[in-house]
Amino acid sequence: MHQFSLARLAAGLAAGEFSSRELTAHFLDRIERHDPRLNAFVTVTRDAALAQAGAADARLRAGEAGPLTGIPLAHKDIFCTEGVRTSCASRMLDGFTAPYDATVVERLKAAGMVMLGKTNMDEFAMGSSSETSWYGPVKNPWDPARVPGGSSGGSAAAVAARLAPAATGTDTGGSIRQPAALCGLSGLKPTYGRVSRWGMIAFASSLDQGGPMARSAEDLALLLPAMAGFDERDSTSSPEPVPDYPAQLDEDVKGLRVGLPREWFREGLDAGVAASIEEARRVLEGLGVVFRDIDLPNSALAVPAYYVVAPAECSSNLARYDGVRYGYRCEAPRDLEDLYRRSRSEAFGAEVKRRIMMGTYVLSAGYYDAYYLKAQKIRRLIADDFRAAFAEVDLILGPTSPTRAFRLGEKTADPVTMYLSDIYTIAVNLAGLPGLTVPAPMAGGLPVGLQLVGDYFQEGRLLNLAHRLQRTTDWHLATPPGFD
Ligand code: GLN
C-alpha cells in the first residue's frame, strides 16, 4: 500500500479494498519501524490519526468522500495544528501547542485527509540540510550519512521512505524543491499567493509559500486544489480561481517552448547533475518539446539579494518571540531586559541568530539604502528577467540544485557554501513565480532534481509537462534501498 499513488489509494478506499484505518495503521507502523533511523518526524499523532481515519471511513461509507478522503499525510512542523505541538524545530516553540489550524491544514482536513504527524525541518525553515533542527538532523533515506536537503527535509525523507504518501512543505528560497530533489521526489512551490500563509509560521513573508511534496506530478495535481485558493485571513492570498489541475495533466506538450537559462548551466553545476538533466531534456524533446537557450542576466545577484531580504523580514517576524507572550522563557529573569536577552539567546540556534543579526543590520538607519533598498531593486531586475524570458518561452527548465545530497556536517561550518544550494531556486521566490521539481535519472546512486519554472499561475502547465515526462519514464518510481 505504501507504494501506491494517491489516485490508486483513493480507488482502493472507494472500492473497499482497504479502509482508511488500515491504511493509516500501516503508515503509522512504518513510521514506528523506520523513523528512528531517519528522524523525519518531530511528533507522531497516532491516536488522532486513527480517529480521523475512522471518520474518513464513515464518510466513505456514506458516499460523501472526495478524492483525498481517508488518505494519510504529514505536515511540516511550521504549520499550526490545533492541539498539537507546533515547534518549527526550535527550542523557542518546543512547548508551544497551536490553538488553531493553519488554513492549509484546515483545508486538507476538510478534504478528509488524515494527519500522521509533524515533520522535522531546519529551525524556522532557515537552512538547506535540515541540520539546524533543535531535534537533531534528518537523514536522507537514500544514504543515511547524507542530508535530505532543507528546510522541508523531514517531509522529504518521510515521503521518500514511504512513511507517508504525501506531505506539506514551505519554500522561501527552495525549501520544497531542494529537499524533494535530494530525496527523489516531486515537489511544487506555487505562485506567491496561490496558497494561504495563514497559520504558517512566518520566516520571510514576501517569499514564503506552502506547497505539496509527493512522489509524482499527478499526486501534486490532486493535492494542490485542496490547498490553494483565496483566504480572507491572508491579505496576500490571490483571488485567482483555482483551475482543475488534474484535468490538465494529459494535455499534449508538442510544440511547447522551453527555455534553458545559460546562467544555470555554467561553473558550479555538478557534472553528474548536468548529465542527468540533459538525459531528461532529450526525453522531453522526444515528446515534441522545443528547446532554446535563454538568458537570465541577473541570476548571479539572486542569492546575495535574498540574503538581505530574507534576513530583514526574519528579523522583524521573529521579534515576536520575546519570552513574554508565548514560547520559551528563561529561568528567573532579573528584569525585562534580561528576560528578552536570555530567552532569545537560549532558545534560538546559531543560524537563526545569524539571520536576525544580518537582518537587523541591513534594516538599520545608516545601512537601509545601501543594502535593503538595493536588494529590493535587484529583486525587480530579477522579476524583469523572467518577464522577458516568458515573452519568448512557455516554461523554463534547469537543475533544481547544483549538487546531489551532500554529507551530514559537510557544509555546516561554511554558511555561504550552504546558501549556494539554492542558487537555482531562490530567484523563483524573489520573482514570486511557480517552480516544480521532479526526479531526473539518478546519478551515482543518488537522486537528481529537474526544475521547471512557469509564469504566474501556470502551475497547471508545469504539472502537465512533468506528468508527461513521468508517463514515459520511471525515474520517479525508484525507492530507497530498505524502504520498499
Ligand atoms: N535555504 C534557504 C534559506 O536558508 C531557503 C530556505 C527556505 O526556503 N525556507 O533561507
* pLDDT > 90 in the chain, percent: 99
Count of beta carbons in the 10 Å neighbourhood of residue 251: 15
How many Å is the maximal CA-CA distance in the chain? 70
Q: Is 171 near ligand 1, meaning CB less than 6 Å away? A: yes
Query: Mind listing the pLDDT tens digit for each residue in 375-390?
Result: 999 999 999 999 999 9
In 3-state terms, what secondary structure has residue 129? coil
Active site residue 76: yes
Q: Which of 122, 403, 420 should be mutated for ligand 1, with most atoms under 8 A from CB?
A: 122
Average pLDDT rounded to a whole number, residues 258-281: 96
CA 473 to ligand 1 center in whole angstroms: 30
The rounded Å distance from CA 62 to ligand 1 centre is: 43
Grid cell for residue 323: 519570552
Q: How far apart are CA 441 and CA 85, in angstroms?
A: 38
- For the Cβ of 173 lying below 6 angstroms from any atom of ligand 1, the answer is yes
CB atoms within 10 A of CB 269: 18
Residue 67 CA to residue 218 CA, distance in Å, equals 13
Give Cβ neighbours of residue 415 (< 8 Å, ≥ 6 apart).
351, 354
**Residue 291 and residue 208: Cα distance in Å, rounded?**
30
Evaluate if residue 473 carries a pLDDT over 90: yes
Given a contact cutoff of 8 angstroms between Cβ atoms, the answer to whether 102 and 79 are in contact is: yes
Identify the pLDDT of residue 146: 98
pLDDT, one tens digit per residue, over 399-411 is 999 999 999 999 9
pLDDT score recorded for residue 223: 98
pLDDT digits (tens, 9 = 90+) for 115-171: 999 999 999 999 999 999 999 999 999 999 999 999 999 999 999 999 999 999 999
Catalytic residue among 151, 155, 299, 315: 151
Assess whether the C-beta atom of 187 lies below 6 angstroms from ligand 1.
Answer: no
- Whole-number pLDDT of residue 326: 87
Ligand 1 pocket check: which of 128, 182, 356 to mutate, most ligand atoms within 8 Å of Cβ? Answer: 128
Q: Decide: 85 and 118 in contact? Cβ < 8 Å.
A: yes
Distance from the CA of 211 to the center of ligand 1, in angstroms?
14
Beta carbons within 8 Å of 403's beta carbon, 6+ residues apart: 270, 273, 421
Distance of CA 59 from the midpoint of ligand 1 (Å): 39
3-state secondary structure of 240: coil
What domains, with CATH codes, occur in the chain? 6-256+435-477 (3.90.1300.10)
Q: What confidence score (pLDDT) does residue 285 get? A: 98
Q: What is the pLDDT of residues 320-344, one digit of tens each?
A: 999 998 899 999 999 999 999 999 9
**Eight-state DSSP code of residue 11:** H
DSSP state of 480: -
How far is the C-alpha of 321 from the C-alpha of 328, rounded, in Å?
A: 8
Per-residue confidence (pLDDT) for residue 421, from 0 to 100: 92
> Mean pLDDT score of the chain, rounded to an integer?
97
**Ligand 1 centroid vs 356 CA: distance in angstroms?**
14
Mean pLDDT across 351-358: 98
At residue 267 the predicted structure's pLDDT band, cuts being 50, 70 and 90, is: confident
Using the atom order of ligand 1, give the atom closest to the CA of residue 152.
Answer: 9
Say what the pTM is.
Answer: 0.98
Structure confidence by residue, pLDDT tens digits, 316-325: 999 999 999 8
In terms of phi and psi (left: phi > 0; alpha: psi -120 to 50; beta: otherwise), the region of 448 is beta
* Catalytic residue flag (residue 186): no
